[in-house]
């Protein structure tokens, strides 16, 4: 399997490296709320000695209903994410939906995230690749729910041809029937064959798409996350919230903030074992 280590700011993500955690609320609800959660995540990171990127979205452009809360928008959202870095020293990531959002977002966020349903949009990939490359950043592409793991290579090729070699790939489940996602852990080593680190999205993987609103089963998050790290995932993405049941977006599949410390401890212990096994293999 090819070497897949990538620099993400002051961290390295990839085979043999410590787990990278991507954590935060689904959407920016308010400056006060985001800074409060970021402070708690910073405290956990310091206590446990883990590598963390803070995540939240300035715009949820893919909500089921046109009336759903989407966030504060690009300008105000980036100001809040910049405050997270300034106050707590956490690098940030956010998702973008339009090519013109790439340049301003890349000036603030270390990682630009491409949503799964947009991962084949060439103009978006090129804009994100060029903007992250010029700002010493990274692009993270979520594998679409409708493609096979090996086919993500075409997306990686687009990013590399646009000048960006620092690419993360995220596995977040595959569409199965109506309103269900399944996780085939073979996807992790298959996606690593591209030479990119693979992130496991433990919270969107428990979504139940469809219906009036997207549902989910957050009780399954620890089980899937542990399995993914055992399968060799290089990073874990988990959306977290102080009170998921009151969250305006993705509440059913977000991890309660009070449970975050325990699951990080479990996953880091598994990662140590996986790295030891890899050395002796």
Residue that the structure tokens 């993914």 belong to: 228
Cα separation, 77 vs 268, whole angstroms: 31
List, for residues 201-239, the tens digit of each pLDDT value: 999 998 777 655 566 788 999 999 999 999 999 999 999
Cα separation, 97 vs 101, whole angstroms: 7
Number of neighbours of residue 165 by Cβ within 10 angstroms = 14
Q: What are phi and psi of 164, to 5 degrees?
A: -110, 115
List, for residues 108-159, the tens digit of each pLDDT value: 999 999 999 999 999 999 999 999 999 999 999 999 999 999 999 999 999 9
Q: Which pLDDT score is estimated for 176? A: 87
pLDDT higher at 267 or 3: 267
Lowest mean pLDDT across 40-44, 61-65, 172-176, 227-231: 61-65
Q: Which pLDDT score is estimated for 71? A: 83
Cα separation, 19 vs 159, whole angstroms: 24
Residue that the structure tokens 């960006």 belong to: 164
Mean pLDDT of the chain: 93
Structural domains in the chain, CATH included, are: 91-274 (3.20.20.70)
* Beta bridge partners of residue 200, listed in sequence order: 171, 236
Cβ burial of 12 (10 Å; 0-12, 13-18, 19+) is middle
Helices (H), 63-201: 74-88, 102-108, 122-134, 153-161, 187-192
Cα separation, 246 vs 35, whole angstroms: 18
Q: How many residues are there in the chain?
A: 281
Q: Both tokens of residue 37?
A: 């959660």
* Beta bridge partners of residue 230, listed in sequence order: none
Cα separation, 31 vs 80, whole angstroms: 6
Q: Which pLDDT score is estimated for 178? A: 80
């Amino acid at each position: 399997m090819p070497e897949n280590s990538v620099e993400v700011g002051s961290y390295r993500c990839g085979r043999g490296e410590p787990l990278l955690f991507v954590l935060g609320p689904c959407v920016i609800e308010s400056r006060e709320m985001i800074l409060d959660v970021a402070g708690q995540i910073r405290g956990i990171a310091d206590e446990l000695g883990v590598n963390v990127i803070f995540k939240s979205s300035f715009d949820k452009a893919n909500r089921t209903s046109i009336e759903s809360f989407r966030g504060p928008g690009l300008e105000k959202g980036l100001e809040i994410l910049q405050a997270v870095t300034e106050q707590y020293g956490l690098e940030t990531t956010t998702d973008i939906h339009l090519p013109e959002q790439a340049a301003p977002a890349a000036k603030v966020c270390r990682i630009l995230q491409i949503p799964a349903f947009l991962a084949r949009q060439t103009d978006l990939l090129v804009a994100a690749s060029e903007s992250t490359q010029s700002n010493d950043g990274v692009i993270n592409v979520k594998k679409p729910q409708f493609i096979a793991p090996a086919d993500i290579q075409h997306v990686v090729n687009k990013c590399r041809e646009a000048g960006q070699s620092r690419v993360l790939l995220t596995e977040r489940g595959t569409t199965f029937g109506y309103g269900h996602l399944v996780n085939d852990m073979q996807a992790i080593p298959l996606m690593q064959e591209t030479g990119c680190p693979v992130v496991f999205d433990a919270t969107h993987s428990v979504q139940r798409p469809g219906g009036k609103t997207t549902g989910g089963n957050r009780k399954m998050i620890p089980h899937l996350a542990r399995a993914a790290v055992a399968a060799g995932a290089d990073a874990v993405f988990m959306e977290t919230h102080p009170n998921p049941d009151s969250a305006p977006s993705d509440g059913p599949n977000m991890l309660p903030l009070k449970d975050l410390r325990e699951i990080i401890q479990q996953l880091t212990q598994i990662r140590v074992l996986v790295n030891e096994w890899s050395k002796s293999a």
